[in-house]
């Protein structure tokens, strides 16, 4: 029989726990996916009794998992939920937690998953105190650690953090979150590419002109001004979500869907992206800041932090040499949209004229990540009943909402929490992957933050971003594309 399983959430009185973690765990319990008899214990410095913590979480679940809310289901789930007040950065502060675990595990130890939902500057200190308090010794079961983003703020700090955590834990015990990887539509990039024969033969520089990756947010700072101004869009979105999407689009097929084969291929893609020197990175980058950003709470009035960026990367390997990857992301834009557009080359020779009133558009494939989850393929079709041959682009569309009506796309934390409990690290980032991603982004960040950098171009709230982003693609004879519905 397995030893008792405990999920220990450090930062249990915070926003992430209330908005994402506990509602996701509750939904997993509703689907009977949580390991039987598993316990969840929240840890933070604030004082809560078990009952008070359950009440706070009940309110959070009613708000964030409203569709699934049922009082009797909640009662059953809440019996597994506990709270221990502790300062997790101090080994002596963790004595309460040690005592609690000993009592609940019955003295023989158990399996423990630690989830750090705390400010990033506490990650290293908490891991050291967990170790000093003896909580990471694998007695009676495994120890695993889930770490939230951001993981470092540049290559040097990510390396230091990796070294500090790996002095206490083996790599396979560490689960670094990028919640984008928990999305079904992101995992579907792998299914589309590697469970179909249709696309893969064309998936290279011979047939693909360029690739665009967009992660647009409609929201602005949502009260996180002080954090965001220190980060900016390059750290907040590019180093993680956009580069993750790029690796899935560009990687070679792994032999097995398992953590190491998959992550080896992702690292190879990142390895094939030569980090640019700072001056060149500056030329391959457009930065924007939404109007009014400098008046936001927590943001200095002189801030040059970009809230929008667009950049170009090249992948130097046989498959992708010469195919630009354009990445863009920003806040306070027209809509919320995550999308990958693959622009194919035009046919080498067109035997018929386009025809009066017709349009010739070379094939495009769009992977719609959110909110219009699905796939669009744009292809040429003959317009019926015309004099002569007239062509126009048409769309083949696949929507999760239609194809899987009764299976709504779940919150990505559900999948990630479950995978960490099951010991599957496929959808988590390995240390070399994180470091490689920082090595690619650092020159762009330095170019953006250097004393001689110009201020980012202002763009209107609710727009498509700065005009400079259009000029950037225009210079390459291309334009930003969007096929997915907003
Ligand atoms: N919120 C989100 O949607 C979101 C999304 C993506 C990533 N993240 C990441 O998730 C992490 C948590 O974010 P958050 O928004 O939940 O932050 P938050 O609301 O500020 O919560 C931080 C938590 O840490 C606890 N804490 C602080 N010092 C502690 C200590 N010494 N020992 C134990 N607990 C301590 C706080 O509780 P006490 O003050 O009671 O100790 C609080 O519960 C951050 O790394 C963030 O970047 C958050």
Cα separation of 48 and 124, whole Å? 25
Cα separation of 441 and 15, whole Å? 28
Q: For residue 36, how many C-alpha atoms fall within 13 Å in the half-sphere facing its CB?
A: 2
Q: Which of 64, 179, 210, 241 is catalytic?
A: 241
Residues with CB under 6 A from ligand 1: 10-16, 19, 43-46, 87-89, 117-120, 122, 148-150
φ/ψ of 386, rounded to 5, equals: -120, 160
> Which tokens belong to 96?
């309460």
C-alpha dihedral sign at 420, 425, 428, 430: positive
Q: What is the pLDDT of residue 273?
A: 97
Active-site residue 241, yes or no? yes
**pLDDT tens per residue across all 486 residues of the chain:** 688 999 999 999 999 999 999 999 999 999 999 988 899 999 999 999 999 999 999 999 999 999 999 999 999 999 999 999 999 999 998 999 999 999 999 888 899 999 999 999 999 999 999 999 999 999 899 999 999 999 999 999 999 999 999 999 999 999 999 999 999 999 999 999 999 999 999 999 999 999 999 999 999 998 899 999 999 999 999 999 999 999 999 999 999 999 999 999 999 999 999 889 999 999 999 999 999 999 999 999 999 999 999 999 999 999 999 999 999 999 999 999 999 999 999 999 998 888 888 899 999 999 999 999 999 999 999 999 998 899 999 999 999 999 999 999 999 999 999 999 999 999 999 999 999 999 999 999 999 999 889 999 999 999 999 999 999 999 999 999 999 987
Alpha-helix residue ranges (DSSP H) falling in 373-430:
400-403, 412-422
Give the Cβ contact number of residue 448 at 10 Å.
24
Which of 21, 24, 44, 429 to mutate to test ligand 1, by most ligand atoms within 8 A of the CB atom? 44
Alpha carbon of 459 to ligand 1 centroid (Å): 31
Give the Cβ contact number of residue 352 at 10 Å.
12
Cα separation of 369 and 339, whole Å? 5
Alpha carbon nearest to ligand 1 atom 41, residue:
45
What pTM was computed for the model?
Answer: 0.96
Alpha carbon of 87 to ligand 1 centroid (Å): 13
Cα separation of 73 and 58, whole Å? 11
Alpha carbon nearest to ligand 1 atom 6, residue:
149
Complete DSSP assignment for 352-389: S---TT------EEEEEEESS-EEEEEEEEEPSS-SS-
- How would you label 68-104 residue by residue, b for 16+ Cβ within 10 Å and e otherwise? ebeeeebeebbebbbbbbbebbebebbeebbebbeee
Alpha carbon of 290 to ligand 1 centroid (Å): 27
Report strand pairing: 143-147 vs 111-116: parallel
Whose tokens are 């067109």? That residue is 350
Distance of CA 188 to the CA centre of its chain: 14
Alpha carbon of 16 to ligand 1 centroid (Å): 7
Q: What is the pLDDT of residue 308?
A: 98
Q: What is the pLDDT of residue 352?
A: 85
Complete DSSP assignment for 78-98: HTTEEEEE--TTSGGGGHHHH
Alpha carbon of 14 to ligand 1 centroid (Å): 5
CA of 46, closest atom in ligand 1:
40
Alpha carbon of 170 to ligand 1 centroid (Å): 24
CA of 224, closest atom in ligand 1:
15
Alpha carbon nearest to ligand 1 atom 7, residue:
149
Alpha carbon nearest to ligand 1 atom 1, residue:
16
CA of 90, closest atom in ligand 1:
31
Cα separation of 7 and 142, whole Å? 12
């Amino acid at each position: 029989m397995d030893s008792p399983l405990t999920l220990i959430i450090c930062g249990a009185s915070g926003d992430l726990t209330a908005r994402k973690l506990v509602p996701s765990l509750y939904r997993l319990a509703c689907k009977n996916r949580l390991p039987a008899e598993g316990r969840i214990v929240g840890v933070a410095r604030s004082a809560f009794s078990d009952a008070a913590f359950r009440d706070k979480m009940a309110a959070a679940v009613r708000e964030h998992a409203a569709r699934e809310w049922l009082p009797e289901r909640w009662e059953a789930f809440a019996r597994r939920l506990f709270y221990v007040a502790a300062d997790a950065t101090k080994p002596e502060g963790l004595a309460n937690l040690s005592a609690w675990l000993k009592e609940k595990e019955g003295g023989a130890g158990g399996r423990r998953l630690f989830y750090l939902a705390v400010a990033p500057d506490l990650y290293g200190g908490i891991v050291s105190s967990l170790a000093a308090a003896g909580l990471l010794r694998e007695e009676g079961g495994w120890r695993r650690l889930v770490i939230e983003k951001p993981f470092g703020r540049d290559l040097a700090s990510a390396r230091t953090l990796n070294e500090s955590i790996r002095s206490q834990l083996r790599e396979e015990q560490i689960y670094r979150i990028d919640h984008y990887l928990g999305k079904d539509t992101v995992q579907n990039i792998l299914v589309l590419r590697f469970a179909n024969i249709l696309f893969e033969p064309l998936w290279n520089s011979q047939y693909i002109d360029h690739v665009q990756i967009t992660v647009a947010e409609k929201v602005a700072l949502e009260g996180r001004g002080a954090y965001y101004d220190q980060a900016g869009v390059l750290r907040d979105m590019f180093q993680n979500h956009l580069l993750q999407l790029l690796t899935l689009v560009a990687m070679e097929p792994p032999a097995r869907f398992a953590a190491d084969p998959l992550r080896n291929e992702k690292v190879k893609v990142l390895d094939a992206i030569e980090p640019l020197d700072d001056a060149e990175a500056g030329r391959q980058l457009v930065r924007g800041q939404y109007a009014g950003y400098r008046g936001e709470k927590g943001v200095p009035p002189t801030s040059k932090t970009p809230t929008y960026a667009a950049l170009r990367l090249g992948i130097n390997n046989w498959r992708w040499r010469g195919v630009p990857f354009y990445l863009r992301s920003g806040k306070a834009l027209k809509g919320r949209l995550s999308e990958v557009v693959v622009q194919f080359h035009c046919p080498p020779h067109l035997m018929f004229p386009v025809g009066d009133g017709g349009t010739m558009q070379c094939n495009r494939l769009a992977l719609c990540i959110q909110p219009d989850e699905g796939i669009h393929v744009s292809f040429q079709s003959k317009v019926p009943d015309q004099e002569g041959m007239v062509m126009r682009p048409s769309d083949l569309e696949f929507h999760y909402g239609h194809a899987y009506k009764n299976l709504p796309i779940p919150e990505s934390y559900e999948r990630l929490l479950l995978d960490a409990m099951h010991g599957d690290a496929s959808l988590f980032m390995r240390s070399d992957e994180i470091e490689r991603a920082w090595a690619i982004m650092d020159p762009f960040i330095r170019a953006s933050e250097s004393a001689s950098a110009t201020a980012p171009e202002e763009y209107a709230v609710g727009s498509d971003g700065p005009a400079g982003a259009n000029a950037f693609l225009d210079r390459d004879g291309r334009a930003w594309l969007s096929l997915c519905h907003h």
